[in-house]
Amino acid sequence: MGESCIPLQPQRVVTLDGVSLEYALALGIQPVGSVLDQLDGHLIEQVKHQGNRIANIGTAGAPNLEKILQLKPDLILGLDFHQPIYSEVARIAPVVLFEFQYSGQWKQIFKTFANSLGQGDVAQQVLDRYDQRINQLKQTLANPLPTVSVIRIDPASINVYFKDSFCGVILQDAGLPRPPAQNLSATEAQQTFNNPIQAAVNQERLDLVNGDVIFTWIGENTLEATQDAQAQIDKLKTDPLWQKLPAVQQNRVYYVPSYWIGSGPISANLVVDDLFKYLIPDLP
């Protein structure tokens, strides 16, 4: 959106979406205000750890400008989908919006976000700790490595996630192979499916979700949508094609929270926790 003159050491940061909130918290920064409606569960827990001292400014895409004004921020941060309200929030305080094409870019965007806060060194420390955990996981995994499939069940479809999705990048970092149908780069996926990180498949093509291990998430933003997705899973479990998948027959289908399709270092470390939990079950 052009240039913005920002303070060297901002003290009263407002974040306009859950991704920016996660980046701030990962840097040890408590925003004075943020979008808190419809946050994923792991971010709700992070906000609680802050003693609920972060003011709620509403919903991503439609924050309450009056509440932001009352907080007297010295810097406002968010993703580029907030461009339609940029001119309005820029009247309140300096604003920086970050280009976010797809979730697999989370490390680069996190670094850029941190640099805008003068916290580049802190961001590198956060990523170094993540790398240390990834290396520990790689050293602990037994050969042959399992092929890992990641899918999302929603009320309307089954989505498969490719290697440049958020969780796909983590699996790449861990050296875990993907099924051939999911081993597509962002460029390849965009060309084939018009989406860089995921594609919907019908139940007749369940071979595309096959892997030694299948991680499945059903996290939705509302209780009703989650219940609908759960009903879809219950229906899928009765499908003969699903029942024939080796991972299903060997009880290696694991249901995981929405942080698997996250966008920041807090989510990434929770995914790593799950990889330890499910792929190395004999750890004490």
Q: Could you give the CA distance from residue 34 to residue 20 in angstroms, rounded to a whole number? A: 9
- CA separation, residue 28 to residues 45, 117, 163 (Å): 15, 11, 29
**122, part of any domain:** no
- The residue range of the domain holding 227 is 133-279
What's the one-letter identity of residue 169? V
Those residues with Cβ within 8 angstroms of residue 251's Cβ, 6 or more apart along the chain or in another chain: none
**Parallel, antiparallel or unpaired: strands 148-153 and 253-256:** unpaired
The domain spanning residue 206 has which CATH number? 3.40.50.1980
**1, part of any domain:** no
Q: Could you give the CA distance from residue 184 to residue 164 in angstroms, rounded to a whole number? A: 8
Pick from 108, 98, 83: which is nearest to 186 by CA? 108
What string of pLDDT tens digits covers the 284 residues of the chain?
Answer: 888 888 888 899 999 999 999 999 999 999 999 988 877 778 888 888 776 789 999 888 788 999 999 999 999 999 999 888 899 999 999 999 998 888 899 999 999 999 988 899 999 999 999 999 999 999 999 888 999 999 998 767 789 999 999 999 999 999 999 999 999 999 999 999 999 999 988 777 787 888 999 999 876 666 677 777 778 888 888 888 889 999 999 999 999 988 998 889 999 999 999 999 999 876 54
Q: Could you give the CA distance from residue 27 to residue 111 in angstroms, rounded to a whole number? A: 10
Reported pTM? 0.91
**183, part of any domain:** yes
How many structural domains is the chain composed of?
2
pLDDT of residue 283: 53
Q: Check whether residue 275 and residue 154 sit in a common domain.
A: yes
**7, part of any domain:** no
Token pair 């990434």: residue: 268
Which of these three, 81, 100, 119, is where a domain ends? 100
**187, part of any domain:** yes
